[in-house]
Structure 1
């Protein structure tokens, strides 16, 4: 190789790019992994080609022979990407149970064919939103199963005359869920939002809070006020479909941001000052219900 060629700026740039690509391939587990990731990132953008949310669940069968289960693959082979979500027909609880035969009492699931790499608790603050709940359960169970997670769904229900306080209910859910399992991840979920892509993994970042609903920026008050870094799911994966019933017979779901001055109270409205009365804890076929009295919470004017 001649000296003049080495000193050529274009050739030096080529070397730098080649080295960067080579390091990326080694870091991501080989060339096939890198190119597969690239292809998947392109494929998941096409939401015009969506799949039924129960696609591939028939492939989940218990391992036979009594042998020790292997760990689940790092990338689920039964994930499909974009999902067809519609709220036209309200699914019954019986239908949801029948379509999710491996979900155990309390809304708990473990993959029947492998050992899950992650354990996630899904915490849902709830107040008289039965239609929303049925739709969420219909979609979220198969969504999580295709990700090969070990999970449980918790419903934290507020009673009393106080203003609906989502933040406090979710704090209660965190405390109660940790009594059951040393969860790898605690996901705070809205009852009226359904994920549209099962490549949106319900697992936590190792260091920072993770915002999975990146295409719907809501409820970031405390994280932003605390000056914490947020890890965001790429917007083409973090898409959610929101339910919007007219609620002729239901009370409007009042989000706490409308009534609480979060900028002034966030330091005192957390786990360090959590007070509540646990009224009941019941295992339902599709979720664990936790009913609490958090006391009277006056609205801010």
Structure 2
């Protein structure tokens, strides 16, 4: 006979808390089983209260620190101010040209590159380009060592800046190259681009804008960031937006701006030197700064690969800016091999709304965290976080942003679509367009 009074009733574990009585009924009376269960329940309840208290304190700690981190990020996010924006149209840079024309919010001591900027005396003539000296280029796609490229461009100043010594350049050009994980492509591009630009007697600086982190690539946001940060180095007559995998095959392709935005790469090797489609405005393009502002820069909505260039074409149309295109028999570009990013399947949906949103979404709404601006020998390297507040990069999140631009509802195919219905609409649209 079991002596229940002598049985140790102190709970030590779940197995010791009388649960053996439930499985072995013959060893416990119902009264003893109930007593053990009550004692065990009280003990377990106290343990759960302690655990929940600890979890609450941990969660409060992380929430507090995250809010402080977010405040710090937002205090360092740069947004464009247009109140006093103007464009410098002078051919020769002077002291006034070094003023930061497109002011950044919360910025100070923003000017950079003054030590490299060439100053000309009054007697120096303007450069006269002998176009007969320009001709085709035979592109070698082998990967050069960057030190080898540097040794052959000793006249290039830190930051990838160059200006002719014996004459005043007629054009001041910013070359903007979006970049991530394309080190070999970049080496080949720099090998050809510096001699190419110097031969055209340009004053120029090459900006390589790199996206920080492992999130999906956002070329449009990188272009907007590079536009803003390039203004630290003075005003530019022309902006050249240049894919890292395209190499010019002819020195007669003028890397300057024409009267209207220009598609400079209509004939690329990967397309068998044929124009892919008539509305193409990508690869290598040129715009003046005031034109870039007029279209509100590139859209920030295109994560992953594709469609930001097509969106820019629609912006140009909406702003009533004609597009020019170079002669395809001259404007030929070699294509460097690289792994293609997966195309965003929802990109067509955003294109349908480009005309409606281009004035409110783009350069003016660009948010980023500037991590570093470093003047390397052959280029100015800009590293930026394109998603500093860690917005979830998912279609539903982006749809909410789009809906907010239109008061949480918009018209699609003649019918009003509210925020909660947008994701289903874009799913149907993507399936019909892919």
Gaps of 5+ in 2: 1-120, 269-279, 283-308, 396-426, 428-434
Instruction: Tell me how far 1:212 sits from its aligned partner.
Output: 0.8
Contact 1:223–1:230 under 8 Å retained in 2: no
Match of 1:170 in 2: 223
Structure 2 Cα separation of the partners of residues 282 and 274 of structure 1: 22
Matched, 1:209 2:238: no
Q: Counterparts of 1:76-91 in structure 2 under 5 Å?
A: 76=130, 79-87=133-141, 89-91=142-144
Matched, 1:195 2:248: yes
Match of 1:68 in 2: 123
Instruction: Tell me how far 1:136 sits from its aligned partner.
Output: 0.3
Instruction: Tell me how far 1:67 sits from its aligned partner.
Output: 8.2
Match of 1:95 in 2: 148
TM-score by length of 2: 0.49
SS at match of 2:189: helix
Contact 1:197–1:239 under 8 Å retained in 2: yes
Structure 2 Cα separation of the partners of residues 210 and 256 of structure 1: 25
Which structure has more helix as a fraction of its residues?
2
Runs (4 or more) in structure 1 with deviation over 4 Å come to: 255-259
Contact 1:76–1:148 under 8 Å retained in 2: no
Residue deviations 1:103-127, cap 9 Å, x none?
Answer: 1000000012211000100000000
Residue deviations 1:51-73, cap 9 Å, x none?
Answer: xxxxxxxxxxxxxxx88321100
Structure 1 Cα separation of the partners of residues 322 and 392 of structure 2: 30
Structure 1 Cα separation of the partners of residues 340 and 231 of structure 2: 27
Gaps of 5+ in 1: 1-65, 246-251
TM-score by length of 1: 0.70
Residue deviations 1:33-68, cap 9 Å, x none?
Answer: xxxxxxxxxxxxxxxxxxxxxxxxxxxxxxxxx883
Structure 2 Cα separation of the partners of residues 297 and 144 of structure 1: 41
Matched, 1:254 2:341: yes
Instruction: Tell me how far 1:205 sits from its aligned partner.
Output: 1.3
After superposition, the CA RMSD in angstroms is: 2.3
Contact 2:281–2:312 under 8 Å retained in 1: no
Instruction: Tell me how far 1:165 sits from its aligned partner.
Output: 0.6
Match of 1:298 in 2: 393
Match of 2:272 in 1: none
Instruction: Tell me how far 1:79 sits from its aligned partner.
Output: 3.8
Instruction: Tell me how far 1:194 sits from its aligned partner.
Output: 0.4
In 2 relative to 1, CA 148–165 (structure 1 residues): closer, same or farther, beyond 3 Å?
Answer: same
Instruction: Tell me how far 1:280 sits from its aligned partner.
Output: 0.4
Contact 1:71–1:114 under 8 Å retained in 2: yes
Determine which of 146, 150, 163 is the counterpart of 2:199.
146
In 2 relative to 1, CA 200–259 (structure 1 residues): closer, same or farther, beyond 3 Å?
Answer: farther
Determine which of 231, 234, 238 is the counterpart of 1:181.
234
SS at match of 1:178: helix
Contact 2:263–2:281 under 8 Å retained in 1: no
In 2 relative to 1, CA 142–288 (structure 1 residues): closer, same or farther, beyond 3 Å?
Answer: same
Structure 2 Cα separation of the partners of residues 147 and 257 of structure 1: 38
Instruction: Tell me how far 1:254 sits from its aligned partner.
Output: 2.5
Q: Counterparts of 1:279-290 in structure 2 under 5 Å?
A: 279-290=371-382
Instruction: Tell me how far 1:81 sits from its aligned partner.
Output: 1.4
Match of 1:14 in 2: none
Which stretch shifts more, 215-224 or 138-147? Answer: 215-224
